[in-house]
C-alpha cells in the first residue's frame, strides 16, 4: 500500500464521490475506481458501498481511513520537519539570471535570506543564447526566464518580474528621432539573431519573425550576450528589442532606447528542473509568491 493509494482513499472518504475525488487529485475517474478496487482486494472486504447515486464507507473502510489518516499526517509532519531543518544547513542555491537582471532580484533574495538565515542564494549569470542548458546540466538550480517556457522537464514557478519592452537603435538611426516604436517598425530593419541554442517558440516570443501585418522581419548578425547585442546596435548593423530594465542600467552614447508601444509585457518566472525540485527550491519559490511580482 503506497501513500498515493492512501491519499486517494482518504480523499474519497471525504468527498464520497469518485468524480470529485479524481478532480481534486488531478486524476481520471477510472483511476480512482481502480485504486479503490485494488485496496479492497488487498484488504479482502469492500471499503465503500456504492451505487451510481451514493458512496458510503463500510465500517471496515471507515476504521481503516481513520488509521491511515494518522499515518499520513505523521509522514507529512516528519517530512516538513526534516525540510525545515534542511533549510538551515543547505548549500547555496544557485539562481541563474540573464544579463544585469540579478540586480532586480534584490528584494526576493533579501526576503529569502531573512526567512532562512541558514541558506544562501548565489546569483549566476547565463546567456540568452542557450537558456535551458544551465538547468539541465546542473549549473543552476533555478533560472529566471521569460515566458513562455514550454519544456516537459522544467517546472515554471511564480512570475517575479513584469516589464515593458524597448527597441535599441543606433543614435544616428532614422528611428532614433521618434519617441516610441511599434512592432510594425521591425519589418523595416534587421534585428539581431540569437543563434540556434534556444527553441524557436522562445525566441519568437521576444523577437518575432513577422510583424503584426505579416511582413517578414529580417535577421542580422548574431550575438550571444547582451554586450554583443549592444555593440552591434551601436555600430548600426541592426536593431534589437530588449526588456525595459536595461534602460535603468545602461546608457551608451551610441544607442537610443525607444519604448515599443504595442509589445506585450515580458513576464519573468522562476524555473527549475522538475526532477531536481528540492525543499530549498520550493522555499525560494514560495518566498517569491509571497512578496509578489513587481514591475
Give the footprint of a copy of itself on this chain (CB under 8 A): 1-4, 6, 41-45, 59-60, 63-64, 66-68, 70-72, 74-75, 77-79, 81-83, 85-87, 89-90, 276-280
CA distance 280 to 164: 30
Among 41, 44, 53, 213, binds DNA (CB under 7 A): 53
135 binds, among DNA, a copy of itself, none (CB under 5 to 8 A by kind): none
**Nearest to residue 199, comparing CAs of 289, 152, 132?**
132
In angstroms, what is the minimal distance from the CB of 19 to DNA? 4
CA distance 238 to 154: 33
Q: For DNA, give the closer residue by CB, 30 or 295.
A: 30
Q: For a copy of itself, give the closer residue by CB, 1 or 295.
A: 1
Q: For a copy of itself, give the closer residue by CB, 146 or 272.
A: 272
Q: For a copy of itself, give the closer residue by CB, 10 or 147.
A: 10
| 243 close to 104: Cβ distance less than 8 angstroms | no
Query: What are the backbone angles phi and psi of residue 249, rounded to the nearest 5°?
Result: -115, -20
Q: For a copy of itself, give the closer residue by CB, 75 or 261.
A: 75
CB-facing half-sphere around the CA of 151: CA atoms within 13 A: 23
Q: For a copy of itself, give the closer residue by CB, 9 or 98.
A: 9
CA distance 64 to 8: 13
In angstroms, what is the minimal distance from the CB of 128 to DNA? 26
Residues in 127-186 that interact with DNA by CB under 7 A: 152
Nine-digit cell string for 293: 511580482
Q: Does 94 bind DNA (CB under 7 A)?
A: no
Nine-digit cell string for 59: 465500517
In angstroms, what is the minimal distance from the CB of 76 to DNA? 18
CA distance 223 to 199: 16
CA distance 134 to 141: 8
Among 38, 106, 248, 294, binds DNA (CB under 7 A): 38
CB neighbours of residue 122 within 10 Å = 13
CA distance 155 to 150: 9
36 binds, among DNA, a copy of itself, none (CB under 5 to 8 A by kind): DNA
Q: For DNA, give the closer residue by CB, 86 or 175.
A: 86
In angstroms, what is the minimal distance from the CB of 53 to DNA? 4
Q: Mention every residue, 6+ apart, whose C-beta is less than 8 A from residue 217.
A: 186, 187, 191, 207, 208, 209, 210, 211
Binding mask 8-27 for DNA (x = CB under 7 A): ---------xxx--x---xx
31 binds, among a copy of itself, DNA, none (CB under 5 to 8 A by kind): DNA
**Nearest to residue 250, comparing CAs of 259, 261, 242, 238?**
242
Among 50, 115, 178, 252, binds DNA (CB under 7 A): 50
Residue 57, helix vs strand vs coil: strand
Tell me, what DSSP letter sits at residue 207? S
Which residues make up the interface to DNA (CB under 7 A)? 2, 4, 17-19, 22, 26-31, 33-38, 50-53, 55, 152
Amino acid at each position: 500500500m503506497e501513500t498515493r493509494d492512501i491519499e486517494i482513499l482518504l480523499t474519497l472518504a471525504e468527498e464520497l464521490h469518485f468524480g470529485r475525488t479524481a478532480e481534486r487529485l488531478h486524476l481520471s475517474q477510472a483511476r480512482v475506481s481502480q485504486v479503490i478496487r485494488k485496496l479492497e482486494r488487498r484488504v479482502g472486504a469492500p471499503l465503500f458501498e456504492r451505487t451510481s447515486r451514493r458512496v458510503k464507507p463500510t465500517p471496515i473502510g471507515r476504521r481503516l481511513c481513520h488509521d491511515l489518516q494518522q499515518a499520513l499526517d505523521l509522514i507529512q509532519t516528519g517530512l516538513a520537519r526534516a525540510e525545515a531543518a534542511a533549510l538551515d544547513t543547505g548549500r547555496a542555491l544557485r539562481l541563474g539570471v540573464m544579463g544585469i537582471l540579478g540586480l532586480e532580484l534584490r528584494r526576493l533574495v533579501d526576503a529569502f535570506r531573512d526567512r532562512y538565515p541558514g541558506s544562501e542564494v548565489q546569483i549566476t549569470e547565463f546567456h540568452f543564447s542557450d537558456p535551458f542548458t544551465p538547468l539541465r546540466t546542473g549549473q543552476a538550480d533555478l533560472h529566471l526566464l521569460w515566458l513562455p517556457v514550454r519544456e516537459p522537464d522544467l517546472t515554471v514557478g511564480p512570475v517575479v518580474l513584469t516589464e515593458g519592452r524597448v527597441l535599441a537603435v543606433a543614435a544616428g538611426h532614422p528611428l532614433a528621432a521618434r519617441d516610441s516604436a511599434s512592432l510594425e517598425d521591425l519589418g523595416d530593419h534587421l534585428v539581431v539573431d540569437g543563434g540556434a541554442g534556444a527553441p524557436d517558440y522562445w525566441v519568437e516570443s521576444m523577437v518575432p519573425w513577422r510583424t503584426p501585418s505579416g511582413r517578414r522581419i529580417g535577421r542580422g548578425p548574431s550575438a550571444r550576450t547582451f554586450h554583443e547585442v549592444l555593440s552591434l546596435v551601436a555600430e548600426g548593423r541592426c536593431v534589437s528589442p530588449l526588456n525595459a530594465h536595461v534602460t535603468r542600467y545602461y546608457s551608451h552614447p551610441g544607442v537610443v532606447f525607444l519604448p515599443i508601444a504595442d509589445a506585450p509585457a515580458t513576464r519573468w518566472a522562476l524555473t527549475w528542473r522538475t526532477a531536481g525540485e528540492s525543499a530549498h527550491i520550493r522555499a525560494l519559490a514560495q518566498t517569491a509568491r509571497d512578496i509578489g511580482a513587481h514591475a
